[in-house]
């Protein structure tokens, strides 16, 4: 198991840096000059995120994994020593009358592929629409894998009990969900479902599960496309830039989620224990544009609503604009896109349309019609001092 037995300083000993860290500068001050340098730098950055924020993936060498196909999908049963944990991956396929033939690209959704409806109306699950568009859909229900609370129960923590110590399993639930997604990708690579093309796998999630989808994209390079929808703080939103009180044509921005909210009893279990020791975001040795940059050169689509103040939508745009510089450096600028809409915290039909159109473009080579995936209503971002 990877752990924190490394040389990094304590959060209280890190220098304060009010401006965004430069992803092209190594910890020792060297600059990235070549794509090979970026490979090295990306490994360093990923280790920093594991160490200070999300926790490390476990060493899975001792696992025994068994798969069972059912009417609902795939049951994954894992044993490790005397411990046993299992979870269900619900899988749906394009219908027989779909114009597109397999093998199909696949969209993993952490949490269901639905939004919220007003006045108690039933939410719309968009998996069927994705199926009609020629995509298999894998739905991972987090509670079976890692409970969304401080108890840290579920299949992952049955196998890898949580322990907030440097040499133990000090991880947040986003790592656990990435682990589960990886088990299902393994099954597809073993051709348990010949109708699924694992080389064209996307991962998405909404709100906290949007954060989780971005972490899954960081930890598993088999995801060819990542869509962290309305992910906010701990996902795509910059820790160092908030726009509370700024006047926009659509209204005045309200409060956005601060660092201390992520460290509260209701959210701290998303991260490792070390993350709670940061009292000032300026002490973080990274910011979320660097997490987004770790997806490069794979496809990344940022979606949300302009009025979703709590998730700091312009702060997410800052991360997008900074990550785009890494994509440009790698010759992959067209692989990162943005598609905001009017409105607040929801997953709407417009969001789903953008996701599926972007998947068509990046996973099938079908150019988009309704968006260039570069335009938005914010003024162009310029790093201070440039």
Tens-digit pLDDT profile for residues 273-321: 999 999 999 999 999 999 999 999 999 999 999 999 999 999 999 999 9
Q: Could you please report the per-residue DSSP string of 189-255?
A: HTTSSTTEEEEEEEEEEETHHHHHHHHHHHH-TTEEEEEEET--TTTTS-SS---TT-EETTEE---
Percent of the chain with pLDDT over 90: 91
Which of 215, 253, 221 minimizes the C-alpha distance to 234?
215
Residue 362 DSSP class: I
**The predicted structure's pLDDT at residue 369:** 85
| Cα distance between residue 291 and residue 210, in whole Å | 13
Q: What residues of the chain score a pLDDT lower than 70? A: 1-6, 116-122, 383-386
Residue 89, classed as helix, strand or coil, is strand
CB 315 within 8 A of CB 242: yes
pLDDT of residue 380: 87
pLDDT recorded at residue 249: 95
Please write the tens of the pLDDT for every residue from 331-351.
Answer: 999 999 999 999 999 999 999
Q: Residue 384 burial (CB < 10 Å; 0-12/13-18/19+)?
A: exposed
Long-range contacts of 258-267 (CB under 8 A, 24+ apart): 258/233, 259/233, 261/233, 262/233, 262/234, 265/150, 267/208, 267/234
The single-letter DSSP state of residue 150 is: T
pLDDT value at residue 119: 61
Q: Rounded CA gap, 281 and 238, in Å?
A: 10
Rounded to 5°, the CA angle 231-232-238 comes to 130
Helix (H) or strand (E) run with residue 285 in it: none
**How many angstroms separate the Cα of 242 from the Cα of each of 85, 232, 237, 281?**
40, 11, 9, 11
Contact in structure between 254 and 244 (CB atoms under 8 Å): yes
Alpha carbon 156 to its chain's center: 18
Give the whole-angstrom CA distance, residue 158 versus residue 80.
9
Alpha carbons 18 and 10: distance in angstroms, whole number: 18
CA separation for the pair 345, 332 (Å, rounded):
30
385 conformational bin, left if phi > 0, alpha if psi -120 to 50, beta if neither? left
- For residues 169 and 137, what is the distance between their CA atoms, to the nearest angstrom? 30
Cα 99 from Cα 18, distance rounded (Å): 53
Q: Report the alpha-carbon distance of residue 252 to residue 57 in Å, rounded.
A: 40
Give pLDDT tens digits for 155-178.
999 999 999 988 889 999 999 999
CB 217 within 8 A of CB 203: yes
Q: 11-114+123-364 belongs to which CATH class?
A: alpha beta
Cis peptide before 103 (omega within 30 of 0): yes
């Amino acid at each position: 198991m990877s752990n924190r037995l490394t040389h990094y300083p304590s959060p209280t000993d890190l220098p304060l840096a009010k401006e965004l860290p430069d992803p092209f500068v190594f910890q020792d001050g060297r600059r990235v000059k070549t794509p090979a340098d970026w490979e090295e730098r990306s490994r360093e950055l990923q280790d920093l995120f594991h160490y200070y924020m999300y926790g490390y993936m476990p060493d899975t060498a001792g696992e025994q994994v068994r798969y069972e196909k059912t009417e609902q999908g795939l049951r994954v049963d894992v044993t490790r020593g005397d411990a046993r944990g299992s979870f269900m991956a619900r899988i749906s396929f394009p219908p027989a009358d779909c114009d597109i033939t397999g093998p199909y690209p696949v969209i993993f959704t952490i949490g269901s592929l639905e939004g919220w409806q007003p006045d108690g109306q039933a939410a719309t699950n968009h998996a069927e629409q994705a199926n009609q568009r020629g995509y298999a859909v894998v739905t991972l229900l987090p509670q079976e894998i890692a409970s969304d609370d401080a108890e840290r129960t579920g299949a992952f923590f049955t196998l890898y009990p949580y322990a907030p110590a440097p040499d133990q399993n000090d991880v947040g639930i986003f790592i656990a969900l990435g682990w589960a997604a990886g088990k299902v990708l393994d099954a597809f690579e073993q051709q348990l479902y010949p109708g699924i093309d694992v080389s064209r796998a996307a991962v998405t999630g909404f709100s906290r599960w949007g954060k989780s989808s971005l972490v899954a994209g960081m930890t598993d390079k088999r995801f060819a496309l990542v869509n962290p929808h309305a992910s906010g703080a701990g996902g795509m939103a910059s820790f160092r830039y908030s726009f509370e009180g700024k006047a926009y044509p659509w209204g005045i921005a309200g409060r956005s989620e601060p660092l201390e909210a992520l460290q509260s009893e209701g959210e701290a279990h998303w991260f490792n224990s070390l993350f709670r020791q940061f009292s000032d975001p300026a002490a973080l040795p990274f910011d979320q544009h660097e997490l987004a940059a770790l997806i490069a050169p794979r496809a990344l689509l940022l979606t949300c609503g302009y009025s979703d103040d709590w998730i700091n939508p312009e702060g997410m745009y800052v991360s997008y604009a900074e990550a785009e510089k890494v994509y440009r450096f790698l010759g992959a600028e067209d692989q990162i896109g943005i598609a905001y809409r009017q409105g607040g915290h929801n997953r709407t039909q417009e969001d789903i349309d953008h996701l599926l159109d972007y998947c068509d473009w990046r996973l099938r080579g079908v150019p988009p019609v309704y968006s260039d995936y570069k335009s938005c209503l914010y003024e162009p971002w310029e790093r201070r001092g440039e």
